Structure 1
Amino acid sequence: MISEQWWLRMGELRDNAIAASEAGRVRWHPERYERTYLDWLRGLRDWNIGRQLWLGHRVPVYRCANGHTIVSVEPPTKCAECGSESFEQDPDVLDTWFSSALWPFATLGWPDDTDDLKAFYPTDINCTAREIINLWVSRMIMTGIELMGDVPFSDVVIHCVVQAADGRRMSKSLGTGVDPRDLMTKYGADALRAWATSVAMSSQDVRFDESRVEGYRRFCTKLWNAERLVLGSPGTPSGSLGSLEAREHLEDRWILSRLCVAAREVTRGIEEFTFQDSVNTAYGFAWNELCDWYLEAVKDRLRDGDPAAQDVAFFCLDNLLRMLHPIMPFVTEELWSRLPGRRDYLMRAEWPDLHDRYVDPGAEEEFTQVMAIVDEVRGHRNAAGAPKRGGELRLDEVSGTVSRLVAKLALVTLVDDMDGGTPLASAPGRVRFPSGQGDARRDKERKRLADDLAKTQAKLDNPQFREKAPPEVVANLEERAAGLQEALDRLNAQD
């Protein structure tokens, strides 16, 4: 049935909202969503804001006993046209999205000029989903400019949509949803937060993967163990590093340089709303560089109470906890409270402000060589089935500092001369493991690799498989076959 409806003329509201975005007063992250916003606004027509529902904000329209219409914020007392003092309010209510568009300032006491309104309007960030850019975000911007004289927020952050593991939408009715409370009980709130932060700004929607949440729980455990190692050494760190030039150990200069790079990248990721960059950088620095390489390199120095190693390890741990705190607030706050001399909360501590103070390209280049040689030696040892400790290594044209670190980390003995052995690709030199060690293990590994390679190659040689399988599956199998062949060749070179 056709009935009278209340409309809102959108021309000026629309133009102001477009101008605010084009002038950079509202920024979009990712930037492509500005196009969604502008395209919708440019095609916008007048808005039917009246709804015939039981609940909602009543339309501020009144009719006197003689049928004259009055639009008024406050209920009228007398009709200006006929003098009637009898009024009836229009039964329509406002569209839900019109009411929602008032949220940034109505929740702060508007239309009264409250202290909260002065303090918190406009705000900085609106984090939301792409499906309500037009329904809500654009309308908050329009009403904010019209009623408050300014945009309600300066940055709009659009997160991805998390799907069920099979790619379907998460839904209670379909039974495809995941209760975050169950995940927090199982893995901890920090693990869930870290995972969510790592995928929030993905360019595509993501499928939920519980194993990744579990992985961040293991990361929390890694942080606990790292702190136990650092604080378990004799003595107390001084908390002062002094000058970088005074650092005689390559590993100290390297980790401080990597810390500066990590702090810079974590900060950039947060400032630019590429949160996955911040998470991945902090994770990689903590696990791969600090724990797997630096702490392994200085274990004996920490055990002996070396002040230099203690100070550097403590400094790195301190700044790492600061960087991780916005992502994993609970475990970092607890670990922070255990550091000596900490009397206040981590949440009140200053953000790492390292700039490039300790950046040392020379140390990074040298230690990169250390890592490459150690990785190769470990690969040869694994392929040979030799024990994890032992073997001889000859390095040519490599500094004594690099050689000593390689020997310590690869658990081999440096020799000046060697007959035979396996040549290295990462540096001039050769490695040799005692003959006869691990022959049975080597034969078993050779058989496993050969069998796996044969099965993989059989699939690839099947024309029906190549025709029906998705291209990415075929590509993955081809990559796997190449890797197996390389490992088998490396193992055979040990004979």
Structure 2
Amino acid sequence: MAENALPKGYEPQDIENRWRTHWEENKTFTPDPDAPGEPYSIVIPPPNVTGALHMGHALNLTLQDILCRFHRQKGRKVLWVPGTDHAGIATQNVVERQLAREGKGRHDLGREKFIERVWQWREEYGNRILSQIRKMGASVDWTRERFTMDEGLSRAVRQVFVKLYEDGLIYKGNYIINWCPRCHTALADDEVDHSAEKGALHYVRYPLEDGSGHLTIATTRPETMLADTAIAVHPEDERFSHLIGKYAILPLVGRKLIIIGDKYVDREFGTGCLKVTPAHDHNDWELGRKHGLEVLNILTDDGVLSEDAGPDFAGLDCAAARKKILVMLEEKGFLDRIEPHEHNVGHCYRCKTVVEPYVSTQWFVAMTKLAPRARAAVPAQTQIYPENWEKTYYNWLDNIRDWCISRQIWWGHRIPAWTCEDCGELIVAMDAPQACKCGSTRLTQDEDVLDTWFSSALWPFSTLGWPDSTEELKQFYPTSVLVTGFDILFFWVARMMMMGLQFMDEIPFHHVYIHALVRDEHGKKMSKSTGNVIDPVEMIDKYGTDSLRFTLTAFAAMGRDIKLSEARIEGYRHFINKIWNAARFALMNLPEEQPAPCDLAAVQELHHRWILHRLEEVKSSVDSAFTGYRFNEAAQTLYKFFWNELCDWYLELSKPDMQAGGERRARAQFVLWTVLKEVLVLMHPVMPFVTAEIWNVLPGVAGTDIACASYPETRPACVSPDAEKRMALVQGVISAIRTIKAELNIAPTTRLNALVRTVSDAALEELEASREVISVLARLEGLTMGADAAGPRASASAVVEGNEVIVPLAGLVDFEAELARLDKELGKVGKEKEKLEAKLANESFVSRAPADIVAKERARSQELAETQEKLESLRKRLADAMD
């Protein structure tokens, strides 16, 4: 075949764009539900419509795409459903910021016009993440793209809400929730990010009503004392149990507070007394319900104190109120002391504002009733990989609270509930009712929308057409696997389990694969503030998609975070080049058409038998690794086989065959063609673009699409451990000669004589059969082998499986100059090693330096020690050869 069948260099941009377009226009990844084959399906974790591709997305997409392309090769009909999430709070925030730049707010537009503005934003900017998913080479079915606010999914959301309400699993009521004053909405418990902050414990004296003394109470939030309605002590605490049922007086306010006994109180924390503020603390809310306490809300939805806090504090934000209260407590003698104290503070997961516990009327899902079935499904029906995440899953379900699903924003699925203004009747229905049962037509729809995660919880079946009984639903539900990050195990995975079991009476997925975090090269979490973020789009533009995908796959060990650097991505770009150049070499040595076939099981040449044996092992290993979600093992197996065995050895070993002509050449061509063709298919799930481009010009398959190719069938007759063992001896001899050349600074191209003193007739026979390839690959002028082979004293030697490999050095090495060079190198290494050892012996450095820096220095010290040992060994061998 002509050398220019492939361009000299691999330029990914044009090739990737061409194949993306080809696959989408030809609907390559659109499965026919009626086609033969076992169904395999994945639903993409829907990224926020406001989002941009980050490394976590890139890893997630790569792993899903590997699974989809692999299972297509295995003959399954694969459906990978793409889509995006409307991201209620995040999207509304984006559009509100846009309006703010115009000097407007959402209330200036009104609800209807604001929603129109959000849809307009979505059309203009909301598809960026989808274009980046395309850029990753994701083999999704774009004809089935879904959006959580599209009509089909909206209908599913309404039906689920109505049915859960009718079954008593959704209810409306007053409850303490997490309130974000910035976003003006309730948040579910798992939408609150907790972080440790330095604060203080404020010890406040509460006088007893009878004048007999006071109780001192420690609090981190003195501003909430204005809403106290009781004091709690442990009923078995001898210090305070006699006060249960009596009253204390609330400082600054004068309100009587009953003293209650409850075992919830931690006798060891603070003073052992607890102020109870049911409206502004989740635990106090439960205490209040248990003891029938008054609930006094002193906050507005803006996070400032209301009129109920009293005239001295109304209108102040929490921070200002705290300062004023502390001053007044000090002035009136109620403040005992203040101590530093670190405690967890909740923040909105979207805008990072401090979240306030807040009592309001909200809608809830009775999660405690849905959780048991979802818990029992793991691992009986659904397996989680890695298995250790099962404990986290169980822990959350065992401690679950009812889910607050109403949000006080405008963008999202509006709650399908209407209230009659005349009789107060609440109507929950799929469609807007025309009139109440009392006859009134004055009906008002609930202003709230549903939590974004409510619609996402239906994703595995709503995207397949539910509530309609579609062919896709019959064929592809339950889905095969969910690939996701650990951070949404609660937000999403557990909720999908509950909804799938409730509405489909089946689990939503058979497997859940939890992938690890992508960190920077030092193991630190990537963040914009740290400045260590690696942008996947930038890496794709610089090195190509396949380089990024292979890097992520190569480090995707189950349960282990990925330490990523740009240098690693660049390194695997060299691997892509290696694949390209090897393919060019092969094409130069292959005919225009498919090579004439031969019986591969009958080939006799050792190097052919060896590469065919290794190919069978690689097929089995890659199959097992992908099936078991051991992505890194598959990548490393493919890398080693292609670079170390196919390129470094087999292509070199086959060169004499190609030059020989005749049947020998024809046989080598067919073996090379077979190996290249099949390894391209094996690599395709990880590196779709470079493999597609090479496949497209490969004789015998040119013009077809590798994305539609089957996984290579096994050839049991080609499995030959004996060939592998025999080949190891030949490779060992060649490598030994090459190593001697390298260590002694003999140019690789220098032709020299070598001897092999063999230990057995079998070894001699094997090496004689491979004399030609040993001579060619080791660049030998002459090769003497046998039990009596012996070289002059001025020789270098190595032992391979008991056989001594000898290289005479006379005329090849300037012994004096080489010894001088080695002495200089030993001196340099010794100085660096001595300096480094002194550094590591310094306790101050070891204790104060970052752990990763210390580990790096220790690794370097070990590396220097090994280098020193090798140089000393080489110097001794050279000195011995001179004597």
Task: Give TM-score scaled by structure 1 length.
Answer: 0.91
Q: Is the 8 A contact 2:435 2:441 kept in 1?
A: yes
Aligned mate of 2:808, from 433, 439, 450: 433
What is the identity, as a one-letter code, of the residue corresponding to 1:400? Answer: E
Equivalent-residue separation in structure 1 for 2:726 and 2:642 (angstroms): 20
What corresponds to 1:399 in structure 2? 764
What corresponds to 2:674 in structure 1? 315
Equivalent-residue separation in structure 2 for 1:331 and 1:37 (angstroms): 40
Equivalent-residue separation in structure 2 for 1:239 and 1:277 (angstroms): 34
What corresponds to 1:16 in structure 2? 373
SS at match of 1:391: strand
Equivalent-residue separation in structure 2 for 1:189 and 1:234 (angstroms): 29
What corresponds to 1:329 in structure 2? 688
1:233 aligns with 2:233: no
1:212 aligns with 2:568: yes
What corresponds to 1:182 in structure 2? 538
Identity of aligned residues (%): 36
What corresponds to 1:483 in structure 2? 867
Shift of 1:130: 0.8
Q: Is the 8 A contact 1:383 1:445 kept in 2?
A: no
Q: Describe how 1:32-431 pairs up with structure 2 within 5 A.
A: 32-64=388-420, 65-80=422-437, 82-172=438-528, 174-233=530-589, 235=591, 238=595, 240-244=597-601, 246-305=602-661, 306-342=665-701, 343-354=703-714, 356-388=716-748, 389-396=751-758, 397=760, 398-403=763-768, 404=771, 405-412=773-780, 413-416=782-785, 417-419=789-791, 420=793, 421-426=795-800, 427-431=802-806
Equivalent-residue separation in structure 1 for 2:714 and 2:596 (angstroms): 15
What CA deviation, in whole Å up to 9, does each residue of 1:395-421 have, x standing for no partner?
312233335243332223322432333
What CA deviation, in whole Å up to 9, does each residue of 1:366-399 have, x standing for no partner?
1112222222222222222223231322231223
**Count of residues in Structure 1 that have an aligned counterpart in Structure 2:** 492
Q: Give the direction of change, closer, same or farther, for the CA distance of 1:34–1:452 in structure 2 (3 Å limit).
A: farther
Q: Is the 8 A contact 2:796 2:809 kept in 1?
A: no
Equivalent-residue separation in structure 2 for 1:292 and 1:407 (angstroms): 16
Q: Is the 8 A contact 1:407 1:414 kept in 2?
A: yes
What CA deviation, in whole Å up to 9, does each residue of 1:287-338 have, x standing for no partner?
0011101111111212333122111111110110000111111110111111
Shift of 1:111: 2.5
1:454 aligns with 2:830: yes
Q: Is the 8 A contact 2:385 2:514 kept in 1?
A: yes
What is the identity, as a one-letter code, of the residue corresponding to 1:198? Answer: A
Higher relative contact order, structure no. (Cα contacts within 8 Å, ≥ 6 residues apart): 2
Structure (1/2) with the larger strand percentage? 2
Shift of 1:461: 4.5
Q: Is the 8 A contact 1:239 1:314 kept in 2?
A: no
Q: Is the 8 A contact 1:395 1:429 kept in 2?
A: yes
What is the identity, as a one-letter code, of the residue corresponding to 2:874? Answer: R
Structure 1, 408-417 or 109-118: larger mean CA deviation: 109-118
What CA deviation, in whole Å up to 9, does each residue of 1:249-298 have, x standing for no partner?
11111111111111111111111111111111111100001110111111
Equivalent-residue separation in structure 2 for 1:295 and 1:151 (angstroms): 50
Unaligned runs of 5+ in 1: none
Equivalent-residue separation in structure 2 for 1:92 and 1:375 (angstroms): 73
Q: Is the 8 A contact 2:386 2:514 kept in 1?
A: yes
Aligned mate of 1:442, from 804, 818, 822: 818
SS at match of 1:99: helix
SS at match of 1:227: helix
Larger radius of gyration: 2
Q: Is the 8 A contact 1:144 1:152 kept in 2?
A: yes
Unaligned runs of 5+ in 2: 1-296, 298-358, 847-853
Structure 1, 378-387 or 114-123: larger mean CA deviation: 114-123
Task: Give TM-score scaled by structure 2 length.
Answer: 0.53
Shift of 1:203: 2.9
SS at match of 2:833: helix
Shift of 1:95: 1.9
What corresponds to 2:858 in structure 1? 474
Equivalent-residue separation in structure 2 for 1:369 and 1:207 (angstroms): 37
SS at match of 2:731: helix
What is the identity, as a one-letter code, of the residue corresponding to 1:321? Answer: L
SS at match of 2:548: helix
* RMSD, aligned CA: 2.5
Shift of 1:339: 1.1
What is the identity, as a one-letter code, of the residue corresponding to 2:720? Answer: D
What CA deviation, in whole Å up to 9, does each residue of 1:450-471 have, x standing for no partner?
1233124313542754533435
Q: Is the 8 A contact 1:460 1:478 kept in 2?
A: no
SS at match of 1:5: strand
Q: Give the direction of change, closer, same or farther, for the CA distance of 1:464–1:315 in structure 2 (3 Å limit).
A: closer
What is the identity, as a one-letter code, of the residue corresponding to 2:764? Answer: S
Q: Is the 8 A contact 1:322 1:349 kept in 2?
A: yes
What CA deviation, in whole Å up to 9, does each residue of 1:105-124 have, x standing for no partner?
33343333344444443322
Q: Is the 8 A contact 2:737 2:807 kept in 1?
A: no
Structure (1/2) with the larger helix percentage? 1
Equivalent-residue separation in structure 2 for 1:228 and 1:441 (angstroms): 42
Structure 1, 371-380 or 459-468: larger mean CA deviation: 459-468
Q: Give the direction of change, closer, same or farther, for the CA distance of 1:156–1:448 in structure 2 (3 Å limit).
A: farther
Equivalent-residue separation in structure 1 for 2:755 and 2:578 (angstroms): 31
Q: Is the 8 A contact 2:837 2:861 kept in 1?
A: no
Shift of 1:180: 2.1
Shift of 1:216: 1.8
What is the identity, as a one-letter code, of the residue corresponding to 2:796? Answer: T
Equivalent-residue separation in structure 2 for 1:247 and 1:442 (angstroms): 46
Q: Is the 8 A contact 2:406 2:448 kept in 1?
A: yes
What CA deviation, in whole Å up to 9, does each residue of 1:195-234 have, x standing for no partner?
1222234533223211221122211211122122222126
